[in-house]
Amino acid sequence: VEILEVGPRDGLQNESVLFTTDQKLELIERSVAAGARRIEATSFVHPRLVPQMADAEGVMAGVPRGNGVSYSGLVVNRRGYDRAVAAGVDEVNCVVVASETFSRRNQGMSVDEALDVVSTVVAESASTPLKVSVTVATAFGCPFEGEVDPAAVQRIVRRVGDLGVDEVALADTIGVGVPTQVRDLALMTTTQAPDADLRFHFHNTRNTGYANAVAALDAGATVLDASLGGIGGCPFAPAATGNIATEDLAYLLARMGVPTGLDLATLVDGVRWLDDALGTPTPGQLARAGLFPA
C-alpha cells in the first residue's frame, strides 16, 4: 500500500502558523527520509485565496530529487496547471467537488466547469509523462449541503474515468464518512473507472478516519492519503480537522503485516520536529504513545 504524504499541502494549508519555504522543504525532506515516495508538495492556486501556498514555485525548486519520489501539485484551473508544469511537478492532482455549493466556495466554479478543467488537463498532459490524478472532494458529505447523493459522486467518477485519468481519489473532506460508505464508493469507482488507480483521502474529524482506511484497503484501494502528525484541514470547510496521521496509519498497517515502505522511528522524529515548528502538539498518537514493540 502506498501512503501519499499530503502534509506539505493539505496539512500546512490550514495551520495558523505560516511555514517558511525552508521549513516546508524540511518537512518534505523528513518525509522522504522516512520512506515517502509520493508527496503532495504544494498547490498552484491563487495566493490571495490560499496564502500558505504562495511559495509553490519556490517549494518545487527546492525538493530533493534523484530519489524516486514523485511530487504532486494540486491544481483547480488551467492557470494552476500551467504553473505546476513549469515548476516541474511529476503529477497534477485536480479537484472536482461533488456538491455545487462547496465547489463554488472552494474553487469558484461549478462542478461541470471543474470537469472541463480535468478534460483540458488530460488533453494537455497526454503527450507528457505527467500523471493525472483527480480527487473528488466532499464525496462523503458537504459542510453546506449535508448528505451528498452518491449518484453525484458516480457521475463525476464515470466522467473522469472516461477521460482516462490515471487515478481517482474519493475524499472525505470534512471527516463525516464511515466504512460502509467507503465500501459502496469503492465498488462504484472500480466499476465506473476500472482503469484508474483507487485512492482515498480521509480526515479524522469524527475519529472514523482509521476505520475508513482499513475499509478502503479491504475494498481494493492501493493508495491512502495521510499527513505527518495528522495536521491540516480545509480553509473552505468550517470545523474540518486534520488528515489521518501518516505515522498512526503506518503503524496500523505495519502491525497488520501490510508493507508501506515507511520507517516508523523516522516518522516519529519528524512529528517531534513538526510539533516544535508548529508550537503545539499534533493530533497523531504514535509519537506520544511510542512504538510497540519498543
Task: Output the smallest distance, CB 10 to Zn ion, in A.
Answer: 4
Among 5, 10, 15, 247, the residue binding Zn ion under the rule CB under 5 A is 10
Q: Catalytic residue among 3, 74, 234, 264, which?
A: 234
**CB nearer Zn ion, residue 10 or residue 90:** 10
5 is an interface residue for Zn ion by CB under 5 A: no
* Window of 9-17, 31-39, 120-128, 259-267 that interacts with Zn ion by CB under 5 A: 9-17
β-strands 167-172, 197-202 pairing: parallel
**CB nearer Zn ion, residue 5 or residue 10:** 10
Task: Output the smallest distance, CB 205 to Zn ion, in A.
Answer: 10
Asked about 234 being catalytic, the answer comes back as yes
* Window of 7-15, 86-94, 184-192, 205-213 that interacts with Zn ion by CB under 5 A: 7-15
Task: Output the smallest distance, CB 225 to Zn ion, in A.
Answer: 7
**CB nearer Zn ion, residue 264 or residue 283:** 283
Q: Which residue's C-alpha cell is 473528488?
A: 136
Which residue's C-beta sits nearest to Zn ion? 10
What is d(CA 247, CA 270) in angstroms, rounded to the nearest whole number?
9
* Window of 6-14, 39-47, 92-100, 184-192 that interacts with Zn ion by CB under 5 A: 6-14
**CB nearer Zn ion, residue 85 or residue 94:** 94
Annotated active-site positions, please?
234
Which residues contribute to the site for Zn ion (CB under 5 A)? 10
